[in-house]
Structure 1
């Protein structure tokens, strides 16, 4: 790892891509006792678990062409990430700007697993 970029700061969240997110929410809430932290209609259900989050996402909220679990690592910025990912045998799928929430870079590792890098939005100027 080069000194010119920082490693992920933390595991920001892990989410499961669901065909029926509302039903999955009922399962995770009742079967595992997860406490709802945030909800975006029937599209995204997020739970606090320790120092990270676990979520259930509809297909539209997930990284492109994703199924199963996705790890999301928080980073300070995306500077040089595309080149490092390609150089290590991965593939950048795209960047999604989520406005005040921040931005997410979706990528595939060399075995095709989807991983995301999350960058928080800059704090508003005061």
Structure 2
């Protein structure tokens, strides 16, 4: 696995996504890029994305922030993560959006690797 191509997304695990949406649009002026009801609300900020995610959509994260790094493929990711003291939590196929490998770093933070559809599978 090569180094990530870019920071694809950072998302906040939100208890009340609609209320947070009102805050981020009015207080910070974030422009809506994509919305899946109150499950996932995404804003474009420069070349990256910032999003609000309900707990179900954010799983396995239950609170806090999650960094999502875009990669070309997942080859070797599981072995590298384990060797560095992390834990792979699983892979989620998101159909036409792509796939995500969720992992926990050595301090317990959730991080995800995102691969667009059409790139090699793990």
The alignment's TM-score, normalised by the length of structure 2, stands at 0.95
Structure 2 residue corresponding to 1:31, chosen from 6, 27, 37: 27
Measure the CA separation in 1 of the matches of 2:106 and 2:64: 17
Helix, strand or coil: the match of 2:92? strand
C-alpha root-mean-square deviation of aligned residues, in Å? 1.0
Measure the CA separation in 1 of the matches of 2:45 and 2:5: 17
Measure the CA separation in 2 of the matches of 1:22 and 1:30: 12
Q: Which residue of 1 aligns with 2:89?
A: 93
| Structure possessing the higher radius of gyration over alpha carbons | 1
Structure 2 residue corresponding to 1:49, chosen from 45, 51, 67: 45
- Please say if residues 63 and 114 of structure 1, whose CA atoms lie closer than 8 Å, have aligned partners that are also in contact: no
Q: Which residue of 1 aligns with 2:106?
A: 110
Shift of 1:42: 1.0
Shift of 1:63: 3.0
- Alignment size in residue pairs: 119
Helix, strand or coil: the match of 2:22? helix
